[in-house]
Amino acid sequence: MRRFAAKILGPGALAFPTWAYAVFFFVVPVALVLFYSFGYKPDEFTTVATDRLSLERYAESMTGSFLATFAATLRISVLGTILCLLISVPFAYWLAVKVPANRRGVLLAIVMVPFWTNFLVRTLGWQIILSPDGFLSDGLQQLGLLSGPLNILYTRAAVQIGVVYNYLPLMILPLFVAMDSAGQALREASYDLGAGRLSTFFRITMPLAMPGVASGCLLVFIPLTGDYVTATVLGGANGSMIGQIIANQFNTAQNWALGAAMAVVLILVTLAVVAVAAAVLWLGRLITARLTRVQLEGI
Amino acid sequence: MGSLGNRPRGDGYNLNSTKTSELDAAEKIVVDELAPHVKAYVGSASTAMAQGGFTLMQAYNGDARQGIMESDDPDRWKFVFAKPSANLWMDNWAIATGAPHPDAAHAFINWIIAPDQALKEVDYIGYPTGSKSLTDKKVEDEFDYPELIFPAQEILDRLTASELNSGQQRRVDILTAAQARSGA
């Protein structure tokens, strides 16, 4: 105990802002959500009671509509993460390798500028762009590319566009950092040894950028799965996401216990998906390492 | 979607019903019959009207009036009060217990219900307030679409004010199920 106190008051005190932030803004709120999820809603005017703890709220949350919306959410978030990755890889590569160093700052700033605007306002902007009476719809009709008004707003496609737009910088930035530091020297060595552009990209640049791919995917997938704003603003009925159902329990039903149980399920499923993806990637690397191992002993 | 409960058509159920059998019947109609034709559940009816893409909406009268007034083609829209009943919603000015400046709150409320502001406020929000300046019936003609702000007494008589009761959780569950089922 004394050693613990010495740690907290000694070196630990220096790190106070960091661990206090983690404790008060992460550990405590998540612990409260977990605790409430074992409680129940005693009457119309009380949101949660915890004098009797049970797993009943978890059983209660597993309705057909909850699971259907959950499946739809995972489809949106997995597809959204893949789309972000597919767009970001060439862009980050171009930015890190092809663009002269003195222009990179400006281009990075352009990637960041939308982030200076509020998330909700950015998403509302897409309502105007995708609106059936909006300028995009009118323009496409005048060009003869559309025969009727644009019918994307309030569909799953609108949510998909919105999440890719909202989370794209979170994928570009780690990829850019990873590719920027993934040495030019190694790429040149690869060319010298006779490798072509594609071969160099897939055997040198991409493997070195893998930590960036992994952190980018985490940064996009996790918040995207719990996103509630994009689906509410652009989603309509078939673009519903699980975050909205959880919000309904907290706001409209005033049932914090059930909402908390649903939130815990969301956290666990998100972690499970990340764990499965990590396991698959790890296996894949293990297999490719086996297959492409270079034998030096015979030389 | 606060008035989910008014869906049980002409079968005479109260929208505040807490009876399981009536809520079951309501769920069947809302989820199985109505939801498949619903395109979206939007927070602001007037915004959705301005954006286009909808032909039929369930909306509160004041929101609908705002949307009609902002529309380029107001004649495209017609508002009807639902039958046999619909949700009669009331918002309130409330001062929280222990509020640090109740005098300032009273002053604000007095200001907003004083004649000048009251008329401007009603014209903007599209709902009548408790201001004395509205007791004179003649004032109603000063507004656009007055029939949407001041429904006739026979309409008011058939509306039902919603109650927070033990049916609330079930109503939210029905809404969740309807949302999962929707997507026209």
Structure-block tokens of residue A97: 């390798």
Q: Is the peptide bond before A132 cis (omega within 30 degrees of 0)?
A: no
Q: Which of A233, A248, A251 to mutate to test the interface with B (most CBs of B within 10 A)?
A: A248
Q: Which phi and psi angles does B47 have, rounded to 5°?
A: -65, -45
- Beta-carbon separation of B53 and A132 below 8 A: yes
- Beta-carbon separation of A253 and B172 below 8 A: yes
Q: Which of B73, B165, B169 to mutate to test the interface with A (most CBs of A within 10 A)?
A: B169
A295: pLDDT strictly greater than 70: no
Which pLDDT does position A298 carry in this prediction? Answer: 54
Q: Chain A partners of B172 at a C-beta cutoff of 8 Å?
A: 248-249, 252-253, 255
How many angstroms away from the CA of A255 is the closest CA of chain B? 8
List the helix and strand counts (H, then E) for chain A: 16, 0
Domain that holds residue B123: 4-181
Q: How confident is the model at residue A90 (pLDDT cuts 50, 70, 90)?
A: very high
How many angstroms away from the CA of B132 is the closest CA of chain A? 33
Per-residue burial over A72-90, b = 16 or more CB atoms within 10 Å of its CB, e = otherwise: bbbebbeebbebbbeebbe
Structure-block tokens of residue A136: 């995009």
Which of these ranges, A64-78, A187-201, A243-257, A284-298, has the smallest mean pLDDT? A284-298
Indicate the domain borders of chain A: 64-291
Q: Chain A partners of B165 at a C-beta cutoff of 8 Å?
A: 44
Q: Does A250 touch chain B (CB under 8 A)?
A: no
CA distances in angstroms from A82 to A79, A163, A186, A195, B133, listed in the order given: 5, 12, 27, 28, 60
Q: DSSP string covering B62-127, please? A: HHHHHHHHH-S-GGG------SS--EE--------TT-S-HHHHHHHHHHHHSHHHHHHHHHHH-S
- Beta-carbon separation of A133 and B53 below 8 A: yes
Q: Regarding predicted confidence, which is higher, A178 or A8? A: A178
In this predicted model, what pLDDT tens digit does every residue of A129-144 receive, in sequence order? 998 888 898 899 999 8
The C-alpha atoms of residue B171 and residue B34 are separated, in whole angstroms, by 15
Q: Which of B55, B166, B176 to mutate to test the interface with A (most CBs of A within 10 A)?
A: B176
Which pLDDT does position A3 carry in this prediction? Answer: 74
Q: Report the complex ipTM.
A: 0.72
Which among B50, B165, B176 has CB closest to A44? B165
The answer to whether the beta carbons of residues A227 and A26 sit under 8 Å apart is no
Q: Does B38 touch chain A (CB under 8 A)?
A: yes
- The segments of chain B whose pLDDT lies below 70 read 1-11, 184
Q: Averaged over A73-93, what is the pLDDT?
A: 95
Domain total in chain B = 1
Centre a 10 Å sphere on the Cβ of residue A66 and count the other Cβ atoms it contains: 20
Q: Does A45 touch chain B (CB under 8 A)?
A: yes
How many angstroms away from the CA of B104 is the closest CA of chain A? 29
Q: Averaged over A170-174, what is the pLDDT?
A: 94
Q: How confident is the model at residue A115 (pLDDT cuts 50, 70, 90)?
A: confident
* In this structure, CATH architecture of domain A64-291: Orthogonal Bundle (1.10)
- Beta-carbon separation of B53 and A151 below 8 A: yes
Nearest CA in chain B to A238: B183
Which of these ranges, A104-108, A227-231, A234-238, B166-170, has the smallest mean pLDDT? A234-238
Q: Which residue has the tokens 């009457």?
A: A43
Share the mean pLDDT of chain B: 87
Question: If DSSP states are collapsed to H, E and C, what string results for A165-228?
Answer: HHHHHHHHHHHHHHHHHCCHHHHHHHHHCCCCHHHHHHHHHHHHHHHHHHHHHHHHHHHHHCCC
Which pLDDT does position B25 carry in this prediction? Answer: 92
Closest to A223 in 3D by CA, of A277, A168, A155: A168
The answer to whether the beta carbons of residues A48 and A257 sit under 8 Å apart is yes
How many angstroms away from the CA of B167 is the closest CA of chain A? 9
Nearest CA in chain A to B38: A237
Q: Which phi and psi angles does B87 have, rounded to 5°?
A: -75, 125
Per-residue burial over B118-135, b = 16 or more CB atoms within 10 Å of its CB, e = otherwise: bbeebeeebbbbebeebe
The answer to whether the beta carbons of residues A169 and A114 sit under 8 Å apart is yes
Which pLDDT does position A1 carry in this prediction? Answer: 62
| Residue A281: Cβ-neighbour burial (10 angstroms; 0-12, 13-18, 19+) | middle
Q: How confident is the model at residue A37 (pLDDT cuts 50, 70, 90)?
A: very high
Nearest CA in chain A to B41: A236
